[in-house]
Every structure is written in C-alpha cells, then in structure tokens.
Structure 1
Amino acid sequence: MKKRIKKGFTLIELIVVMAIFSILMVAVMALTGPVQRMFKNTALSEKTYSYANNIQLFLQGKLEYAEDLYVCTSDKIDFDGVNGVDDGDLVKLAEEFRNKHFKNTVGTNDGTNTHYIKGNIHILRLCNNDVVGSDGKVKFKRGEITHRVYDFTSNNVIDPSKTYEEKSELNPAFFNAQDSSYNFNYALGSSNLKIAKMPDAGDLDEETKAKVKENVVYRALDRDMADKTTEISATNLSLSIVLDQKTGGSIDIPAVGTQKACRVFASPVAVQIANLPLTNIAIRCKHNPSPWGLKRPKLEDGAVTLQGDGDVGSAYSETYASADFSFTNDIYFVYAYTDELY
C-alpha cells in the first residue's frame, strides 16, 4: 500500500498568513477603538445629564414657591472679612432678611387676638469649593448643596449664639460612590459650552502646564470666555451646572487673543442649564424683574398697621451677588415660605 504524504504550509506561506492576520487585527482595532470611546463617552454623558438634571429638579422644588429670595455669592457676604463666609456672616444675613421682611409683623389665629408671627428662614449653599471645618477636615465636598434653617419670631433678633446645623441635601452617592468620578461646578446665569483656545505652553505656569492633557479637546462656557455678566433677575433666574472629570477635568487658563481668562474643561464634559422659575414672586408682582416683598400687618407702639414701602424689602434681591460669571464663589439662596409662618 502506497503511503500518502500530506503537504502543509511552507514557512513563507505561514509568514504571509500571519502578516495578513496582523494587518487585519490592526485594522479592526483601529475601527473598534473610536467606537468604544464613543460608547464610553455616551455612557458618561447620560450619567452626567442624569446627575445635573436631578440637581436642577431639586433647586426648582426648593425655590419655585419661595415668598422672598436673596441670591448671594461668597465674595459679597464675608461681612467681617475674616476666614471667609462663616457662621456669624450667615446669621447676620438671615437677620437682615428677617428685618427686611418680617420685623414686628403679626398674625391672628381667631381673627381678634394678634401675635408676633414665627417662621423659618432657609439658606442653601452651592459649594464650588471644599468646605473645611474647624478641625481642618473637609466637612462638605466641592459640588455639595447644603441647607440651614433659622427659626425666628418677628419681633426678636435672630440669636447669633445659637447653633444652626448645616446639612448636605444631595445623595452621598454623588460624591462617595466608586464611580463618582465627576466634579460639580455652579455658576449663576445660563451659558453654552464652546471649544476653547488653549494658550501656548510658554504662557502657562508649571503647575497649570502639568495639568494640560495632550490630544484632548477643551471647552469653556461662552459667557465665561467673553467675560459677560450673569444677567439674572427675578424673571430670569438660571444656573449653569457643569460636570467634568474629577481628576484633571478643569483648568483655569489666562486670556488667549480675544478670549478672556476662563475655566476650561477636558472632554467629556456636560452642562445643564437650570431655569429656576420663581412662581410666587413672579405672579404676585406681575413679572416685575425687581418686585417688592409682600406687605404684612405689623404691630408697633400698640397699633396694628400695614407695612409701608419703606418697611419691606425686595421680594427678590441680588445685592449680595457678584455680577461676574464665575465658578470661584460659593452661591447662596436665602428664602422663606409663607406656609411656614404661624
């Protein structure tokens, strides 16, 4: 019986096949790489949109039915000029709010007997910086929203010696979960993301230069790039919420040509504009951008009269808010609800 010998690949044929296979693998990787990045960026965008949208809904729920509102930034309410905005500054702010809107105001339970009304003044803080406690430890992380409540009686000064607890309002998972890889940035006013011009390396200090990533697109908010003001009012109150990567996501850069000094964000980055309708204030004041507060009965010198024009402050005030579009300052909202008065 004749034995058959099966012929296999020659060495040259094997080398050719392996070379072709390698070329195909490189081509496949070149195609799948961008697709994988696209899916990754899409997933990141969906998550950041969800986070920002939750914050928008939270703020709308808190402020929509406020009876009176102060909008403030931290650079304007450090009244004593010591250690930034502290408990004493916020008590002073709450007391001014009480004095402007509720001083000596009265109500009645039975239509006959009057009494000085009681209620609550709320202060929300949007943290653009870590909040460090007296022990030197971080008390609230950048991006958190905190809440304080100051109870008052209309004829008494708010007690500065009392402790008013500050609590975080957002889900801790936003900041402590394993995949919480984002920074939250807040700025008054609405703005859109645009591709930013990056300065030459020689125009940056060493610390900033080390943060710049190669082959990464950087974006900034157009209002920040052009040094425009916030342009907020009682009928146009809005907030820009930017979520960027926690590590190396944002850099403050100097001016480049006509582009002003601004904060740039590395991709992926998302912005959500939170429009904050002040329903009670707008309806009551017929959509006046600078409305006066609600006039209430007051008791002074044994007589009950209606508060006059000089007795009540604005229903909406941004006296203590910087006009600059900025991510540097913490943002404060001071407000009260009529349904909490008794």
Structure 2
Amino acid sequence: MTSTSNGLAIAAKGLHKAFGEKKVLDGIDLAVPQGTIFSLLGPNGAGKTTAVKILSTLIAADSGELYVGGHDLAAEPQAVRAAIGVTGQFSAVDGLITGEENMLLMADLHHLSRTEGRRTAAELLERFDLTDAAKKPASTYSGGMKRRLDIAMTLVGDPRIIFLDEPTTGLDPRARHNMWGIIRELVSGGVTVFLTTQYLEEADELADRIAVLSDGRLVAEGSADELKRRIPGGHVRIRFTDPTAYQAAAVALREVTRDDESLSLQIPSDGSQRELRSILDWLDSAGVEADELTVHTPDLDDVFFALTGPTAGSAAVPNQSKETVR
C-alpha cells in the first residue's frame, strides 16, 4: 500500500494498539486525501489521541500498514516527522518566555539559520495576529492567543500534514471561530489537517470527511451529510391556520402524522430537495397553501449518540436542526 499514487496524505490499514489487556485501536482503516480536513470523532477513551500519537510517531503501533506523507511509518519515521506538525490537547507554549522566543526556539529545533528563523518567526507572528504581543511573556496571553501561538510554532517547519488533537478545547466561542478560520486557511494553502474534536459542531463546520470511533473501532465514515442521512427521524412539518386547508392537506398527503390541536402535519423525510419538491407538488395539486413549512434533519449530535451509545457522556445533548420556509 502506498499513499502517493492515490493522493492520500495518510493511509492506515489494520491499525492495532493495546495497552495490556485493553484494546485501544482494534484494526482501524483510514484514508485521508491530501489537502482536506479529516475529523476523528469519539467519546473519551475511544482511542482518538492514541491514533494521533501513533500516526505522528510518538508511540508505536502493535501492527498495521501505516503511511504518512507517502512514507512508511515503521521504516521511515524521520521522514514522517519532517512532513508533519502536531498540536496536542495541551499547549506546548512555554509561558516563561515571550511569544517571539517560543517561535525562535522552534526555529532552532528545525535547524533554521538565525536569519531564516527570525524571518519565519516574524512572518508567522504577523499571520496569526500576534506581532503586538510578540515581546510579552506567553503566560500573559489569553487562551485563544496561546492556541494561535501553538499552531504558529507548529508551522515553523512548514509541515504539509498537521495533526490537531482537540485544538479548541477550553476556548470561548469567538476564539473557537477564529481558530476555525485559521484551519480553513491552512487547508486552502494545501495543508492536510487531521482533526480530533469533541465539539460536534466543529466537525460539521470544518471536516470534508468524518470517522466515528467507538471502543477502538470505526463505526462509520463519510461526509457530515452522509452520516446524518444514516440516522432516522428526519421529517417535514407543515402548519396551517385555516382548518379547511389543514383537512385538505391531510387527505392529499401520504404517511402523515396529524396534530389537530396545532393544525400541523408531520411527514417522514430525509430533507432532500427531491422529497421537498414532491410534498410541495402534492399541496399544489390539492390547491392547498401552507402557512409554514419546516424541515427537520438529524444533526451530528444524533449521529454521535446513535453510533457510540451512552458512553458518549461528554457530548452535547442531541437536538435537531431546522430550516423554515414561510
């Protein structure tokens, strides 16, 4: 198996890892195309961080064929390290020195010359809007600033693949959205991002493909929309103010659930354009006009709970997204 011929930045087949008697990763397969965002979801203890540590050469797999950046992980670990950057759950920033000094330290670790190191540090500090704070101790930075500095430090070596292990944990909503913008910018420049997160909205917002990990196994993979379509419960709700129109619609439409008190009808639907057009055509043919039409589709919360079960206690309470047409 190679990852260069088929455009994969990361390729894993039969990845196993156990700690003692506990199987943490039980034969997982991964395929991450170059220049995309791949998100690995799962409850605490599912094996997300272990997968990142293995693919970033921090710990060894028990078995499996693993390629990162076109390099065999077992045979060419140094080549893999040269191609990747890693930002873990906890910031690698040293709070006792300034932001600029943190950047220059990374430049030294990457064996950049003094001139090149200073130029790279200055460019990245400006790119991440940290120039004004560059001379201040990193301990004075906000959580969002520390995260930006952390990623800037990761980019000193110009990696083409970046592992982000829960990069927005603990950030406020504004800082989280700013981080999303940074991640999108990285990918637009051709970088591949391997993202683990417990924020389902984050995966929905960013990822081109999502894999759901539960008890060491991949239980589903696909785009956010593909995963949502696997979960039942989608429906269209039509509300009326005219009782006569409500009765006519109930006769014209098939497989409806009636709510006579609110004069509304609920129809099972996957929310697709085709099904929505069919419902509207039925209403038109019956000469009935609805006052409100709402499309309810399962979201990633529903997917997460359905696929990982009650162990996903740290995830948000599931809900349904809505789009209303008036």
Q: TM-score range by the shorter chain?
A: under 0.3
Structure-2-length-normalised TM-score: 0.21
Which structure has the higher relative contact order (CA within 8 Å, separation 6+)? 1
Please tell me whether Structure 1 or Structure 2 has the larger radius of gyration of its CA atoms: 1
